[in-house]
Amino acid sequence: METGSPQDTGPAGTEGAAGTQSATGAEGAAETVGGTAEADGGTAEAAEDGPVWIALPPGLLKMRRLLLVVWLGLISLAAGLVPGLLAGPAWAAFALPPLALMGWGWVMTGRNWRSWRYAERADDLLISRGVLWREETVVPYGRMQLVEVTSGPVERHFGLASVQLHTAAAATDATIPGLDPAEAERLRDRLTELGEARSAGL
């Protein structure tokens, strides 16, 4: 499973290991067996069917980090300057929490961005995302009712677009953000084409 782009292997691998470790600590030997079984199952599946995972282009990460730095930079500037000038230099330390938040956000956006990936298989689309709360969605092409490409003003400035798939179930949350517009359009056309070929009602 973790055989996609090189960015994927890093965090996913370490987290998997961490998960197994904590489970081992709590549950003892039985859990270790479970852990290895999971790893085996994973490699077996990757070998036999191996969806080709595609990671998101770096544009989204750049945009999110820039927005983060701009907003939190302004906030920390305000939080530092206002008390610092009014009450004395020591109070400028109020700028530190937003700065710490910025650093944390910087790391988290990176991890979140790396966790996003999608794969077009013969009959369905796979979307996998999330670091702590992981979610993997499978949408058969035949069930797609609508494919939407959206791009807001900020996204457009960074040359990004997102593709959203709608099925008859509103709970289906299949969005791929931060794609290159050309890739988004290619994906939209391909999905529409595949959806028409395999179309099915409710």
**Residues near other proteins, by CB under 8 A:** 1, 15, 19-20, 22-23, 26-27, 31, 34-35, 37-38, 41-42, 45, 49, 123-124, 132-140, 142-143, 167-174, 198, 200-202
Closest CA to 94 of 106, 72, 77, 73: 77
Task: Identify which of residues 63 and 176 has a Cβ nearer to other proteins in the complex.
Answer: 176
CB of 153 to other proteins, least distance (A): 30
Determine the Cα–Cα distance for residues 170 and 167; give it in Å rounded to an integer.
7
When the beta carbons of 99 and 108 are compared against other proteins, the nearer one is: 108
Q: In the complex, what is the shortest distance from the CB of residue 128 to other proteins, in angstroms, rounded to a whole number?
A: 9
Q: Least CB distance from residue 120 to other proteins, whole Å?
A: 13
| Residue 50 region by backbone torsions, left for phi larger than 0, else alpha for psi between -120 and 50, else beta | left
80 close to 94: Cβ distance less than 8 angstroms: yes
Measured in whole angstroms, how far is the alpha carbon of residue 83 from the centre of its chain?
Answer: 38
Rounded distance, CA 114 to CA 107, Å?
11
User: Position 121: which residue type?
Assistant: R
Looking at the Cβ atoms of 136 and 152, the one nearer to other proteins is: 136
Nearer to other proteins, 153 or 201 (CB): 201
**Environment class of residue 56 by beta-carbon count within 10 Å: exposed (0-12), middle (13-18) or buried (19+)?**
buried
Q: Which is nearer to other proteins, 27 or 193 (CB)?
A: 27
**Least distance (Å) from other proteins to the CB of residue 136?**
5
Query: What count of Cα atoms within 13 Å lies in the side-chain half-sphere of residue 123?
Result: 6
What residues have CB less than 8 Å from 147, skipping those under 6 apart? 163, 164, 165, 166, 188, 191, 192, 195
Taking the complex as a whole, the smallest distance from the CB of residue 9 to other proteins amounts, in Å, to 18
* Nearer CB in complex with other proteins: 113/141: 141
- Residue 124 Cβ, how far from other proteins at the closest point, in Å? 5
